Structure 1
Amino acid sequence: MQKLGLEFEFLNAFEARDLSVEDCQKAANTWPSPTLREDIACFTSHRIAWQIITERNERTLILEDDAVLSESFADAIRSIEARSDDWDCVYDLEFAPRPHILAKSPIWTDGIYRATRVFQNRVGTAGYVIGARAAAKMLEDTKNYALIDAYFWHRAWLKAYQIEPTPVIQMQFLDGSADKAAFVRKSIDRAFSPQSKLRKNLMRLGLEGIKTRNLIRGWFGGEKRGLRMDRASFPPDPARSAD
């Protein structure tokens, strides 16, 4: 980040090992799919970041610790900084191998990067830009645990925009692989599930309703496609580049 001329601050992530079995089960009761300790820790870490953003009242870039940045990453950030967006706009900078449903035309372009409305994205919070009011709203919406990737991008009030070519990628996808193993979440412990089957089914029904809403929006102005990226713009050896 120093090489890119950007100010940054490291935040201590919430540790999965600090969660008790009771903590994990309580969280699992509010989400229909199996929940891992690491999922809860990731969720909590993002909430910690949102709280800081809210207190400082600043639009901020959030990067997870396995995010790899392209050589022109700073240019994308400056283009976003130059805009006076509505409070509910959030920019997704990350490449994810799975197809998204996006608008057919971008909302803006700077000649290199472009921002396109996202109607469906269920993978990735490794790199995004969020403002103070949106962060505060996210805090309000996440008083109960939810799988962060699947929940974050699908708030009804959120205007999510994808930056392309994507200037952020998770290290596990840098070599171009996108097999199913890359999407398997690993844990130091067992997965936890809701104790009530009825509640589980009701929660799943609610999520399907959100998915249907997004699909309808996409039908009227979007297309399903993969994200555009310039793989050559990323360092072949991120660990060495960070030295």
Structure 2
Amino acid sequence: MAIAAFGLLQIGAEQFLVHQTLGTLVISMASSADRRALQLFQLQRLGLTFEFVDATTTADVPAPEMAHLQRRWARRLRDTEVACALSHRRAWEIVSRSSDPMLIIEDDAILATDTPAILQAAAALKNVDCVNLETFGAKKTLGRRAPLGVGDYTIARIFRDSAGAAAYLLWPEGARKLLSSFKTMLPLADAAVNLTLDLRKVQVEPACAIQTSILSKTNPISHSIRRSMIARTRPIETRPPFAEWLGYKSRRLQISMILTFQILCGLGRSSRREVKYVDSTEALDVLKGAFPDMIA
């Protein structure tokens, strides 16, 4: 694991003092110099204490283990999906050993200028395991809004989510729940967060984080920055052996039961709505100015 920056940073002859706030874990491949430079600039600008966590690559997983892990979900996973799931689990292990909540982001996450204030307010919440900061452009089943105490931002209980694990504040207890909930399965990170029944999770509205792949629908962004840590890939289109197919079928049944339970829990006290990204271009404009070749 590569620890890049914590507290006092040395870059060339200059030093940058990052405010000692809630810790941030940036999941990033060691070879992704452009994305690391982007996050280094962004997080220093926001005054967030952070460290890079080397993402697991497909080359890090021996072939026999990869073949086994690919079959531990509701369908056969691609090798890049396995690597991404293992990367988030590595971050969860770090959080599980800490005494305070930590922000986990993927290296293509863009954070709004209000993010530090939102994190401080969210960290004071009681009876919460996970706070989702991002929007993925898909509708979510959310409870009633409550003021967060930062501008017009609100929080709402998540009854059912759809996708996205690029930016979330996770408590140590929540990390332990995630690590223990799927001992016989390997779900993708967003699926694990969404399907862990005892994980108490809320959504920030409007979202203060967004992936560049979503942002690029309206803002042209360099290909090297735009692509997620793993490409969103389709399932492998091959017919599995019967025993393998039966395992997938069994897991899909378990997932369906969880999703049905979540829907029932939200009846009469939730609504299905799209979470908007905060209408602020300040952070993006600053990043464009610093990285004109990466962000058009």
CA gap 1:130/1:36 in 2 versus in 1, 3 angstroms = same
CA gap 1:193/1:76 in 2 versus in 1, 3 angstroms = farther
Query: Which of 24-33 and 208-217 deviates more?
Result: 24-33
* 2:107 is equivalent to residue 76 of structure 1: no
Which whole-Å CA distance do the structure 2 matches of 1:192 and 1:66 have between them? 31
Compare relative contact order (CA 8 Å, sep 6+) and give the higher one, 1 or 2.
1
Corresponding residue pairs, total? 235
Instruction: Report SS of the residue matched to 2:68.
Output: helix
Q: Percent identity?
A: 25
Q: Select the residue among 89, 101, 106 that pairs with 2:145.
A: 106
Which whole-Å CA distance do the structure 2 matches of 1:74 and 1:162 have between them? 16
Please report how far the alpha carbon of residue 101 of structure 1 lies from its aligned counterpart in structure 2 after TM superposition: 0.6
* 2:95 is equivalent to residue 44 of structure 1: no
* Larger radius of gyration between Structure 1 and Structure 2: 2
Query: Which of 90-99 and 25-34 deviates more?
Result: 25-34
User: Where does residue 210 of structure 2 map in the other structure?
Assistant: 169
| Contact 1:35 1:193 survives alignment (8 Å) | no
Instruction: Report SS of the residue matched to 2:54.
Output: coil
Which whole-Å CA distance do the structure 2 matches of 1:148 and 1:84 have between them? 23
Which whole-Å CA distance do the structure 2 matches of 1:133 and 1:148 have between them? 16
CA gap 1:6/1:191 in 2 versus in 1, 3 angstroms = farther
Which whole-Å CA distance do the structure 1 matches of 2:160 and 2:176 have between them? 22
| Contact 2:106 2:167 survives alignment (8 Å) | yes
Instruction: Report SS of the residue matched to 1:153.
Output: helix
1:76-95 aligned at under 5 Å gives the runs 76-81=118-123, 83-86=124-127, 88-95=128-135
Length-normalised TM-score, structure 2: 0.72
User: Where does residue 224 of structure 1 map in the other structure?
Assistant: 272
Deviations 1:110-151 (A, max 9, x none): 142111111111201100011111111211123331122122
Which whole-Å CA distance do the structure 1 matches of 2:290 and 2:112 have between them? 11
* 2:284 is equivalent to residue 235 of structure 1: yes
Length-normalised TM-score, structure 1: 0.86
Q: Select the residue among 90, 98, 103 that pairs with 1:56.
A: 98
Which whole-Å CA distance do the structure 2 matches of 1:39 and 1:23 have between them? 14
User: Where does residue 197 of structure 1 map in the other structure?
Assistant: 245
